[in-house]
Structure 1
Amino acid sequence: MSSPAPARPRPVHRAADLLAAYLPGSFYYSSARGVLLADGVHSHVRGTPGNRAAAAAEALEAAVLAGVANPVVVGAIGFRPDSGSSLIVPAVVRRAEIPGDGDLRLGESSPGVGDAAGSGGTSDGRSRAAADAVESDGNVGGRAEAAGNAAESGGNVGRRSQAGSEVGTGGRSRAGSVAESGGTAGGRAEAASAAAESRADAGGRTRLAARGGNQGQAIDGFRSGSGFEGADASLRNNQTSWTVVPRPAPEVYAESVRRAVDLISDGELRKVVLARALDLVGEQGVSVRKLLRNLVVADPAAHAFAVDVSAPGDPAPRTLVGASPELLVSRKGNVVTANPLAGSRRRTGDPAQDARAIAELRVSEKDLNEHALVAAQVAEVLGRFCTELDVPEEPEVIGTPTMWHLSTRIAGRVGPGGPSSLELAEALHPTPAVCGVPVDLARDTIARLEAEDRGYYAGLVGWTDLAGDGEWVVTIRCAEVSDRTARLFAGAGVVAGSDPAAELAETSAKFGTLLRALGAEGVA
């Protein structure tokens, strides 16, 4: 009687090692759930817009029949229905997960981080963003099972409610109530004048509670405990100078905002997001590896990504790389989470200035109404699929190294046989955070008023597996890199009362994430 074959040891990876192992052409994605690095192509995922989830499911089933263990679909989808898609089933997948059970369940609060927001350093929550080496399920050939089941991102949910039904005591709203309210009252949140509690979501990003707090949170120093301690934070692209071409010119963008405000005043358009681009041309090729590494080290709590989006006819390989703060949707088991962002202020690093910016953001009727439009639409779409849905009545403020955002974290449950993460993402895309209200009219307005095709900007990037689990984020704070050129994108939401100069300044602030990572601060 033969002895059973010895079990192959499960591969163990560190987040920093997977980041270091990234090469142009690979797919890289990191978030609170862990790090996924994919190489090679087992198969391409075909499919028409709105039907890519079905095509992905077919490709995953075919991969299983072909002997691929634990297959996943990874890639990006562009902004417009006719935009490109880079979805594939990769040949090899490695991952690093967060150790322990970081799940947050519906009805549980996020863990507190005390006074970390004002400590001049980082909170334990942010430090958890992408942890050290952990064991992941292996498969034939030493491949790691794709993309993780570590930390559930369902924080900031209180009492449960049935989707579409009223909530009892506890203050959570039904899915559609934000749309009916037309936005939160300007005086709901008190000015950020005193120290207050601070919370962190499962991903570790600091969330400032409704009564303000110490906003002197350090922008630097996010590396300790993040899992990326081995990465070199000082990497630069070694460019001695950049040629910068704004697309369009700032004054042309401001005029487009004015035209959009007029359209909103005259008709049924309620919101439109207008974007602009910066082309940075270096004296030598832009290093995607260094750019990605700088983005991850600067903010491990962000959803960092790098994906090959080369198309036939491109003179050189093209990579979409970025660090998005905005979770479009994740699914883990039956728990679904979305985190729409809308309403922003520049983060300066000066405690007094940041406190004023946050106080203004909390009571700005324009920003609160803009945010309400986005949260309402996301809640309405998820309400079609979820048997339970929790929607906070008021947004919170979250911080990235360069910006403050109004944020609503929405969590729900899907029933057995429910939609995959990609199906949910397709149903949500594009949200009013990157398009507008109503969607079709806003998208047509964008096509008329924007000078450049967005391509993959304001689309989605992420992964999904055979069980339907996965995570998709909005492709903002990103650039498309090809040879010596990096094209950066940034947008701002235009609503009634928008000021063209303020929207232009907002896009300039949002460019800061990529400019800093490129070592090009101050060039634009």
Structure 2
Amino acid sequence: MSDSLTHILSQPHKPYALLYRPAVSMDSVEILHLTCGKTHSLDKALSADSHHGKLLVVPFCQVAKRGYHAINDETPILTMPITARQSLPLSEVISRLPDLPISVTNTNFNLDDIQFGQRISQLIEHEIGQGAGSNFVLHRKLRTSLVDYHPVQLLSLFRRLLQTESSAYWCFLINTGDEAFIGVSPELHASLDNGEMCMNPISGTLRYPEQGETIEALLEFLTNQKETNELYMVVDEELKVMSRLCERGAQVSDLRLKQLSQVIHTEYVLKGKTKASIADILTETLPAPTIIGSPVQNACQVIARYEPEGRRYYSGVVALVDGTHDNPRLDSAICIRTAEVTADGKVEIGVGAT
């Protein structure tokens, strides 16, 4: 059998991406062959011509382009024109990917539990308590190393994600050759198709009870004031964005539940017609309030004081850009629940607390 997946299996160190996007197709995985570049300009990242489209990974520090505060870790935008593109059935991809044992070593946080807890307490007392914002998302980094690392291990990890988290908005593996990203993002960042822009604010989290999902637990979750207020906050912030980009504002869906393998979230879908470019959409929508807090500009300033390191790609965006000149298309996911893996198997995962 000779196809794109065969090529990746035989040369797993070469640049490629595997994307499972259930909103596009629940039954297939997209296989992309890539050429990779780096830039600090979103306009330059989007200007690269490619008949098959391009894939971008946009770091959090791009918020500085809007005048927002961010620790300048000089993380570049990864811009990856697609040289070949194929879709294969989900069941076939799972059956053909390797199923190797995976183990890790030297696991730690850059802030231990005590240090992280102290910063959260200080943030609540000195920032929220003094009116700097309604809530903030403070993040820390989990670091570990894959034992006896080989790039084929990434394919095994992706196989497991396909089997266990098929309800995520994007389940993806992107390997640039120098680094890799493997994740299951639950949240659409922003999309554009036929002039219609869409955003998907998600907040509120219910872990499934040990005895399984119950009506009582669900009703308690839906009436929890903290969870409800967090969702209203992110909806309000994203409506502000939509009002800037869409001449007639946005329509808001009914409240929805998003069921993942371990948790349930509450969400809304916002839609509006726009003439904005993809560059403008990505610039105006970064950062998502769900991963920084509110008000967004204040939250960026506060978080830059409390986090000891830059966020790199955590809370940035993974984006697929294609379509035509007359109908450019964007599909993107917030870069959360994502592991960054270096060429020698070192792993970093950003995690946040609201």
Matched, 1:78 2:55: no
Match of 1:338 among 192, 196, 199: 199
**Partners of 2:11 and 2:237 in 1: CA distance:** 36
2:112 maps to which of 237, 249, 261: 249
1:241–1:79 Cα change, 3 Å: closer
| Equivalent position to 1:305, from 152, 169, 172 | 172
Q: 1:291 aligns with which of 157, 174, 184?
A: 157
Q: Against the structure 1 CA distance between its residues 378 and 29, is the aligned structure 2 distance closer, same or farther, given a 3 Å change threshold?
A: same
Counterparts of 2:77 and 2:315 in 1: how far apart (Å)?
A: 13
- Return the index of the structure with the highest Cα Rg: 1
1:58 and 1:283 map into 2 onto residues whose CA distance is 39
- Separation in 1, partners of 2:172, 2:265: 20
Which residue of structure 2 aligns with residue 93 of structure 1?
Answer: 84
After TM superposition, the structure 1 = structure 2 runs for residues 135-146 of structure 1, keeping only pairs within 5 Å, are none
Q: Decide whether the 8 Å contact of 1:347 with 1:404 is kept in 2.
A: yes
What's the counterpart of residue 30 of structure 1? 20
In the alignment, the residues of structure 1 paired with residue 187 and residue 236 of structure 2 have an alpha-carbon distance, to the nearest angstrom, of: 16
Whether contact under 8 Å (1:239, 1:284) holds in the other structure is no
In structure 2, what is the Cα distance between the partners aligned to 1:395 and 1:408?
5
The question of whether the paired residues in 1 share the 8 Å contact of 2:237 and 2:295 is answered with no
Deviations 1:241-269 (A, max 9, x none): 63321221112212221112111111322
**SS of 2:219's equivalent?**
helix
Per-residue deviation, 1:328:
0.6
Higher relative contact order (CA 8 A, sep 6+): 2
What's the offset of the Cα at 1:356? 4.6
Aligned to 2:184: 323
Aligned match of 1:370: 230
Task: From the superposition, tell whether residues 379 and 18 of structure 1 become closer, same or farther in structure 2 (CA, over 3 Å).
Answer: farther
Unaligned runs of 5+ in 1: 1-11, 64-69, 97-130, 133-226, 311-316, 494-524
Task: Provide, for residues 331-351 of structure 1, a one-character-per-residue CA deviation record: whole Å limited to 9, x for no partner.
Answer: 121222211111212235632
Q: Distance in 2 between matches of 1:405 and 1:434?
A: 14
CA distance in structure 2 between the aligned counterparts of 1:234 and 1:348, rounded to whole angstroms: 32
Query: How far apart, in 1, do the equivalents of 2:7 and 2:262 lie?
Result: 26
Shift of 1:78: 0.7
Give TM-score scaled by structure 2 length: 0.81
Structure 2 partner of 1:264: 128
Aligned pair 1:39/2:33, yes or no?
Answer: yes
Distance in 2 (CA, whole Å) between partners of 1:443 and 1:95 is 39
Distance 2:222 2:294 in 1: 22
Contact 1:75–1:307 (8 Å) recurs in 2: no
Q: Which moved more, 1:474-483 or 1:358-367?
A: 358-367
Q: Residues 427, 237 of structure 1: CA spacing in aligned structure 2 closer, same or farther, 3 A cutoff?
A: farther
Are the aligned partners of 1:22 and 1:289 in contact in 2 as well (CA < 8 Å)?
no
Closer, same or farther in 2 for the Cα pair 1:347/1:420, shift >3 Å? farther
1:385 aligned residue (218, 237, 245): 245
1:276 alignment partner in structure 2:
140
3-state DSSP of counterpart to 1:228: helix
CA spacing shift, 1:38–1:241, aligned 2, 3 Å: closer
Other structure's SS at 2:328 match = coil
Q: Deviations over 1:177-227 (max 9, x none)?
A: xxxxxxxxxxxxxxxxxxxxxxxxxxxxxxxxxxxxxxxxxxxxxxxxxx3
* Stretch of structure 1 that moved more, 331-340 or 20-29: 20-29
For 2:115 and 2:282, the matched residues in 1 are separated by 33
CA distance in 1, matches of 2:97, 2:45: 39
Partner of 2:68: none
Query: What percentage of aligned pairs have identical amino acids?
Result: 20
Structure 2, unaligned runs of 5 or more = 63-71
- Deviations 1:44-81, CA, capped at 9 Å, x for gaps: 47453xxx1x3345323xx5xxxxxx341212011122
Match status 1:468 vs 2:335:
no
Tell me, in whole angstroms, the C-alpha distance in 2 between the residues paired with 1:253 and 1:356: 33
SS in 2 for 1:80: helix
Give the TM-score normalised by the residue count of structure 1: 0.57
SS of the equivalent of 1:86 reads strand
Q: Is the 8 A contact 1:76 1:307 kept in 2?
A: no
C-alpha distance 330-240 of structure 1, shift in aligned 2 (>3 A): closer
Separation (CA, whole Å) in 2 of partners of 1:230 and 1:347: 29
For the 8 Å contact 2:97–2:159, the answer to whether it is kept is no
Equivalent of 1:440 in 281, 297, 300: 297
In the alignment, what sits opposite 2:264? 404
Give 1:40 shift. Answer: 3.6
Secondary structure at the aligned position of 1:367 is classed as: helix
Displacement, 1:330?
Answer: 1.3
CA contact (8 A) 1:337 1:410 kept: yes
